[in-house]
Structure 1
């Protein structure tokens, strides 16, 4: 009996994982990559360390980190979980470690460890790689798939599309031609540009635990916040941008963000109490030069100035009006967002193949037998922290196993 032939479109994390698992029982697998490089996103992610996954071991804990695809992924993760990801890499000599925020990296702190493990397994499974093969169309005739590029065509029994996200809907044209519905792509992880805000002068300042909310919505997130030369960034902002991606897109990235500089302070009364305690203990100290709430000195100075506090004023002489303004700016500092900045290494899109057209138990198209999807090409995206890679491993695993009619994890 002839071996089954499987074409995998895309040499990223999902593509490699799908190809590896499709080839485990002897299928002939070929990865088609439109560029001259493979695993490029793996290489640069996490500052070159590769944030492989997140230590969210419970299904309910894991799936809440996906602004789009949460219900779909609940079914997928039952087939291949975070524990399975850890076991897969560690069984191939790549030990993983968990950082304080739950992100997981190779102990080597080098993404090459992950790349080596994937490439080694691909070689072991005799997977063929074809570079500079840009797919323009897929046709199914007589039970076979013809995968066409500008100058060539290849024939396969099954096809797994792992082409990743695309900033433009044209990038999904070859999938649309097959009859699939595409949710228009929009950016998901990005920083907030604040071109008119003086806070930009404090670039490099950060706080470990801020609470940020988008005015007019229930969208809010807490976490580290970083001030940059174009605005505000850091995990709190990136996560908020992911959950608010559609809303911000519709607002053309014009919005007000409310920042509470210390997320542990739940009310203005908490701030008033702490300020009064300090004023009573140190009435003759200058307000401007004695930062509170563990804020960086320059940030505290800026907030004080914005509140009308004069340079030489001491706590016992601080006017009530400026005291309450200080409280307001500590609890709800408003910045006007005008635009976004997307980092290539963090680039994630919301949008792609609509999930109701894909079977989450197999990753097979509900429209075309023998066609499978994995990774960001679908309308799935996670917040920063290893969640997008976990979705890639899990959907890639399931698509690969299903394409070769293997449904158990061994």
Structure 2
């Protein structure tokens, strides 16, 4: 019986093992940590954001800053609808939330973990934890995987280690080119009077641009203790991960907290002034933002909160609207987004055959998951890439 060694007990490794034909292969998973499926456990705040309800591969690839061209063919063979089906067949009820993220009905990642553990138990897959791979040696038609628990011979290797520098070094030693790792999905550290004392304040739809990169994103925005976070920031951090790393995370952004052009905001202001001339500016409810944030805007614009709206000068109004619609902020660093740490970089995609995720350089060697130079914005997309790639590997090996 031929041996498949799967290196990495994460999403891609387990999905591959769960779909392999155990009558044909002896399957072993090697995991360096004491627990398997660690990222699955913490994803979505412990609820596990399994995938995203986007069923058109052409639309789906738009969420991947790196890997979008290559993943198109992968997603035509296995996409989020297939993932949902797969879990459905194993009696796991999933639900689509308002933002199209998909979670188990149970709201617990343990449901997903138990499903995988159950699958591999049925298939007699052996799992070795605390098993650190030191080196992989090519020997004639086979491989020898040297680990802290001894040597494992393999006819086929599925390399799904995640993006640790150590695991990238191992495939680099086998001849693969590695694109340097940089963080993707991070929040912006900003010290500014406008954001001070307002952590937790959120905006349903804001616009952020990075002028020096001529790029912008929109979406929900959140003020944190460190600066700014939320989907708008995370999206722009993913798309511009490489440029922002080069800037050493020192750059200027411009924020429109209400997603309205300044002339439109001025119209709203004038209309409010006409119908509420006696209202004080501090109590004026002109825009869809919290009272505290509005008062902070007025304060940093150096306008007296008790001044009546009718007495606000054109200059004062312009200053207020500028801070609301065109606020320039200096970013002085980054913070990793919760536990959902994602990196850009990894194995060069030119060296992978995306029909079956095999290495173009190494025979019988397959690569999947975050070890590849593929990453996505937040929302279940990174897992979907893992499921789809692992599915292609398992189907290819089953049909050999």
Match of 2:345?
351
Q: Distance in 1 between matches of 2:22 and 2:71?
A: 24
Structure 1 counterpart of 2:335:
341
CA distance in 1, matches of 2:137, 2:284: 69
**Paired position in structure 1 for 2:24:** 26
- Structure 1 residue 196, shift from structure 2 partner: 4.8
CA RMSD of aligned residues (A): 1.3
Within 5 Å, give how 1:4-403 maps onto structure 2: 4-150=2-148, 152-166=150-164, 169-263=165-259, 265=260, 267-343=261-337, 345-403=339-397
Deviation, 1:170, is 4.0
- For these two proteins, the number of residue pairs brought into alignment is 400
Q: State whether residues 194 and 200 of structure 1, in contact with CA within 8 Å, keep that contact through their aligned partners in structure 2.
A: no
| Superposed displacement of residue 344, structure 1 | 5.0
| Deviation digits for residues 48-67 of structure 1 (CA, Å, limit 9, x no counterpart) | 11110011111111000000
CA contact 1:288–1:309 (8 Å) conserved in 2: no
Q: Secondary structure at the match of 1:213?
A: strand
**Bigger CA drift: 185-194 or 207-216?**
207-216
CA distance 1:60–1:259, shift in 2 (3 Å): same
Distance in 2 (alpha carbons) for counterparts of 1:293 and 1:156: 63
Instruction: Give the C-alpha shift of residue 102 in structure 1.
Output: 1.1
Structure 2, unpaired ranges of 5+: none
Matched-pair contact (CA < 8 Å) for 1:292–1:300: no
SS at match of 1:193: strand
Structure 1 pair 151–389 and aligned structure 2 pair: CA distance change class (3 A)? closer
Partners of 1:52 and 1:24 in 2: how far apart? 25
Q: Conserved in 2, the CA contact under 8 Å of 1:255 and 1:337?
A: yes
**Cα pair 2:277 2:309 within 8 Å, conserved:** yes
CA offset at residue 195 of structure 1?
A: 3.2
Do the aligned residues in 2 keep the contact of 1:13 with 1:389 (CA within 8 Å)?
A: yes
Which consecutive residues of structure 1, in runs of 5 or more, have no partner in the other structure?
Answer: none
Q: Does the residue aligned with 1:64 lie in a helix, a strand or coil?
A: helix
TM-score normalized with structure 1 length: 0.95
CA contact (8 A) 1:358 1:366 kept: yes
- Per-residue deviation, 1:35: 0.6
Does the aligned pair in 1 maintain the 2:190–2:333 contact within 8 Å? Answer: yes
| Offset, 1:330 | 1.5
TM (normalized to structure 2)? 0.97
Moved over 6 A (4+): none
